[in-house]
Chain A
């Protein structure tokens, strides 16, 4: 869907982006990960031509973007920025309606779309006529997301979209973000410097340093097959949580004890071990029920989860 071929950009004497190449598949989420100043934002902005590359080519849907009209291109690509950048003189409704208005949608269609999005993003309807500065940071970021999604673009670019939020708000918005149907169909390039966030949201991660791609692969590959010292060090110290995050209940399914018939609501086996632990913690219960696609039910407590996970790990290491 998106392809970068040896793309470079220099600012004065800094080589901000140096021969970066990658492909993003349709409906995939690629996360650009790296320390501040490594060229993530510059790479992202070249995809919607906010910045013009010095060298290299960029294709979206098989077409070179260099030949396209920049304004028209940007109308088709959703963009969420760290600083949110809502228009302070527009109401929330007007902020969300910017792109549809530019695309000259009929009024009724715009209104319907806005109301739908407000609901999906858990924005109360009474905020529609407020100005951005009357909203909380979390609400503003949701509006920023709604603004990017409103015209249903096939491609979504996000630059540290949760960076401006406090920890609690960030975690909850990340969860909602993952659950949004709307996003499942989209090709997403997201920038972050936060390893945990990358592992939580990425299908694949592109680890960058000093304008270059260090490693491109799934979270699992990054965790278990780092290509060099830099990649290893980047994840160091967070190993265990990251492993919990990339291991699904379905992976350790066979190591979990069976339960009797479900007397309570149960979780699907598709969540990660980390999420299951979060659930145990947040609900305060000492056990949780999970069900797989065959209707088989397993009971999970903290001990059983860790035990199952360890057995699975051993098998990975020696099997």
Chain B
């Protein structure tokens, strides 16, 4: 049935409930944080306009805060504020702060000295000068700052979905990981429209003459409050345990949909990014999460995989996929890459991931140590007979594999290597491969089948749980459709898995997904 045959319109009307909630959440997040940013930024701006010596320091700090990458900022928030609305709002507030402080400051300091002096000479007190003269005169500049902050916030709010705060990011990032263009657009178009409309609206207010502006300025806070009120915490049905699933997992037949249809699992679910999910489970914000079976954090955070007793999670055996044209250009490449075939087991991979993700060893070092232990490491031959471009997705395991391949190629051939690691999701990686921007990257059979090929549901069902059949199928189809070759699997199976804290699963005696369902039904 392939979701791509659906039109965007069909998708949006089919998901109109979700779209509506996400849009409201998005607007709400934007404006709650904007309101708070004004509440903090405006007084700060006024303060530094009074005490100019402080201005460098305050503007400097606000400037530095704004350069923190959004994902990192959200990550910092979790240990302090947990997941959900609170950290998202605080992060957005921090981004909105700089334009508001800066414009309040320049707005006030830019006012004609003579006008301020006249106000004082009329006998106005300091606060009367502030409220009757300085703020009204600085208002167009302050509004320009609020306008900038609003547009920034609409953009950054898409990332709120990473920490379970909802918003249009759920569709955008879900769509990217699921290779579903309609889903991406269903999130991206409303987000863009929102930014344009708000920008336009605020530019109209900003350009009003003083008389009308005075009235508008009374309405604005009320409006912001109402819009902020749109934020309704995403709540499905309540249950005794809380699950956190990635947007990708939410939209997949072999994910949340399968859990519902095969197990009948009903659990209060929030959408959250992979980057923070494990930590949230560890800090008891979440009880059940959708992880990967070889993830190092499994070991680091003391989590335990629940057995998939009905077999809904298809196997995800990793193997390098390479463009045929690259194999022709680099004749020694295939044999070199296959040196790693069947070398890494599940537990070995979990351990390697643990070393990078938790012990923070560099992927390079972890890769080298492993190759040495396998007797595969050879010093680089510093070859210059062409450059092989290796890609990887944006998580530790892929970085390690990319490093290993890089070392193998440099040590065994005369090719040079360039790596393009951290390519967002499956779709981004795969597009880079087909568009000749990289030559190879490690992919998983399950992903190849269900995300990239998206065959008829019957076909998928028939083979999805058979390791060899899946491999044969993707091998044949990729060759035919994309001119891309699946090399030999590396050995480990990084499939989806549901996991819980080890302690809790023992305490509640939940060992399988069926156990989990039974427990939820009883409590």
The contact of B210 among A71, A81, A84, A88, by CB within 8 Å, is A88
> Is A113 located at the chain interface by the 8 A CB criterion?
no
The answer to whether B115 and A87 touch across the interface, beta carbons within 8 angstroms, is: yes
Complex Cα distance, B117 from A50, in Å, reads: 8
Kindly identify, within residues 109 to 144 of chain B, every residue whose CB is under 8 Å from any CB belonging to chain A: 112, 114-115, 117-125, 128, 133, 136-137
The answer to whether B125 and A89 touch across the interface, beta carbons within 8 angstroms, is: no
The contact of B122 among A83, A88, A99, by CB within 8 Å, is A99
The answer to whether A84 and B133 touch across the interface, beta carbons within 8 angstroms, is: no
With both beta carbons as reference points, the residue of chain A lying nearest to B121 in the complex is identified as: A79
* Count of A-B residue pairs with CB < 8 Å: 64
- A71 and B123 in contact (CB under 8 A), knowing A89-B137, A89-B214, A102-B128? yes
The contact of A81 among B118, B136, B211, by CB within 8 Å, is B118
> Is B17 located at the chain interface by the 8 A CB criterion?
no
> Is B456 located at the chain interface by the 8 A CB criterion?
no
> Is A232 located at the chain interface by the 8 A CB criterion?
no
The answer to whether A88 and B211 touch across the interface, beta carbons within 8 angstroms, is: no
Complex Cα distance, B123 from A72, in Å, reads: 6
Report, as a range, how many residues of chain B touch the other chain. Answer: 20 to 34
The answer to whether A50 and B121 touch across the interface, beta carbons within 8 angstroms, is: yes
> Is A131 located at the chain interface by the 8 A CB criterion?
yes
Complex Cα distance, B272 from A82, in Å, reads: 64
State how many angstroms separate the Cβ of A188 from the closest Cβ of chain B.
15
State how many angstroms separate the Cβ of A164 from the closest Cβ of chain B.
11
Question: Which residues of A sit under 8 angstroms from B115, Cβ to Cβ?
Answer: 85-88
Question: Which residues of B sit under 8 angstroms from A76, Cβ to Cβ?
Answer: 123
The answer to whether A81 and B121 touch across the interface, beta carbons within 8 angstroms, is: yes
> Is A139 located at the chain interface by the 8 A CB criterion?
no
Kindly identify, within residues 146 to 192 of chain A, every residue whose CB is under 8 Å from any CB belonging to chain B: 147
Complex Cα distance, B170 from A76, in Å, reads: 64
- A131 and B123 in contact (CB under 8 A), knowing A88-B115, A89-B137? no
Complex Cα distance, B136 from A131, in Å, reads: 14
> Is A123 located at the chain interface by the 8 A CB criterion?
no
Complex Cα distance, B124 from A85, in Å, reads: 14
The answer to whether A88 and B117 touch across the interface, beta carbons within 8 angstroms, is: no
Complex Cα distance, B123 from A73, in Å, reads: 7
Complex Cα distance, B137 from A86, in Å, reads: 12
The answer to whether A74 and B136 touch across the interface, beta carbons within 8 angstroms, is: no
The answer to whether A74 and B137 touch across the interface, beta carbons within 8 angstroms, is: no
> Is A127 located at the chain interface by the 8 A CB criterion?
no
The answer to whether A74 and B118 touch across the interface, beta carbons within 8 angstroms, is: no
The answer to whether B122 and A75 touch across the interface, beta carbons within 8 angstroms, is: yes
The answer to whether A86 and B118 touch across the interface, beta carbons within 8 angstroms, is: yes
B114, B115, B123, B133 — most chain A CB neighbours (10 Å): B123
The answer to whether B124 and A102 touch across the interface, beta carbons within 8 angstroms, is: yes
With both beta carbons as reference points, the residue of chain A lying nearest to B123 in the complex is identified as: A75
> Is A91 located at the chain interface by the 8 A CB criterion?
yes
The answer to whether A99 and B118 touch across the interface, beta carbons within 8 angstroms, is: no
What 6 pairs between A and B have smallest CB-CB spacing?
A: A85-B118, A75-B123, A89-B210, A74-B123, A83-B114, A85-B114
Interface residues of A (CB under 8 A from B): 48, 50, 71-76, 79, 81, 83-91, 98-99, 102, 131, 147
18 A-B pairs in the complex with CB atoms less than 8 angstroms apart: A73-B123, A74-B120, A75-B122, A79-B118, A81-B121, A84-B118, A85-B112, A85-B118, A85-B121, A86-B118, A88-B112, A88-B210, A89-B213, A90-B210, A91-B211, A98-B122, A131-B210, A147-B122
